[in-house]
C-alpha cells in the first residue's frame, strides 16, 4: 500500500511539472533566428566597413605605384600589398553577397548549408590574412614611405635586410603549415 501511495504521488507530481513547464517552441525558434539575423547583420556591416577600408588602401597604393614607376623595394612591396588588398576586397564583397542571399524562409537544412558556406568563405579570408603575415615588412616600408616619405629600405644595413628576409621566410613556412591545417 505504501508503494501505491508513492506511485500516485509520483504521477501527480509529474503531471504538475508538465503543466508548470510549457515552452513556447515558436517563440524560442523566433528568438534564435532573430539573434542569428542580428549577428549576420553586424557581420555584414563589419564587412562593408572593411571593404571601404580596402578600397581606400587600394587607391593609396595605386597612387603610390603610379607616382613611383620604377623597380624598387617599396614599389614591389606596394604591388604585393595591392594584390592582397584586391583579394581582400573581393573576398569581403563575396561575403556580403553570401550574407545578403541567406533566406530564413528556407528549410533548416538549406539554411545550415548557407551558414556553413558563409563560414567557409570567412575561413578562406582568414587564410588570406594569415598568408599576408610574411609580408609584414612591406606594410612597414610602404607605411613609412606613404605617410612620412621616408624610404626605410635605403636606410637599412645589410644584416637587417637578411634578418627581415629570413624572418619573412620563416613566417611564410609557418603560415603555410597553419594554412594547410585549416584545409
The predicted structure's pLDDT at residue 22: 53
The predicted structure's pLDDT at residue 119: 81
| pLDDT string in tens for the chain (183-residue length) | 566 776 777 676 666 555 555 555 555 556 666 777 788 888 899 899 999 999 999 999 899 889 888 777 778 878 888 888 898 899 889 889 988 888 877 777 788 888 888 888 788 877 877 788 777 777 777 878 777 888 777 787 888 888 888 888 888 898 888 888 876
The predicted structure's pLDDT at residue 45: 93
Euclidean distance between CA atoms 21 and 25, whole angstroms: 12
The predicted structure's pLDDT at residue 128: 79
Euclidean distance between CA atoms 168 and 94, whole angstroms: 29
Quick check: 128 and 87 in contact, CB under 8 A? yes
Please indicate, yes or no, whether the overall pTM of this predicted structure exceeds 0.95. no
Amino acid at each position: 500500500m505504501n508503494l501505491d501511495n508513492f506511485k500516485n504521488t509520483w504521477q501527480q507530481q509529474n503531471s504538475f511539472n508538465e503543466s508548470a513547464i510549457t515552452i513556447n517552441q515558436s517563440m524560442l525558434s523566433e528568438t534564435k533566428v532573430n539573434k542569428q539575423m542580428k549577428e549576420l547583420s553586424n557581420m555584414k556591416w563589419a564587412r562593408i566597413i572593411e571593404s571601404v577600408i580596402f578600397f581606400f588602401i587600394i587607391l593609396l597604393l595605386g597612387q603610390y605605384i603610379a607616382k613611383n614607376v620604377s623597380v624598387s623595394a617599396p614599389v614591389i612591396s606596394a604591388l604585393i600589398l595591392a594584390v592582397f588588398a584586391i583579394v581582400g576586397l573581393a573576398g569581403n564583397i563575396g561575403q556580403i553577397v553570401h550574407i545578403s542571399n541567406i533566406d530564413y524562409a528556407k528549410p533548416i537544412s538549406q539554411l545550415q548549408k548557407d551558414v556553413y558556406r558563409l563560414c567557409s568563405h570567412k575561413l578562406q579570408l582568414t587564410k588570406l590574412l594569415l598568408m599576408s603575415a610574411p609580408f609584414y615588412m612591406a606594410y612597414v616600408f610602404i607605411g613609412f614611405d606613404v605617410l612620412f616619405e621616408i624610404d626605410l629600405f635605403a636606410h637599412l644595413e645589410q644584416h637587417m635586410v637578411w634578418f627581415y628576409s629570413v624572418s619573412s621566410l620563416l613566417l611564410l613556412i609557418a603560415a603555410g603549415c597553419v594554412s594547410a591545417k585549416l584545409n
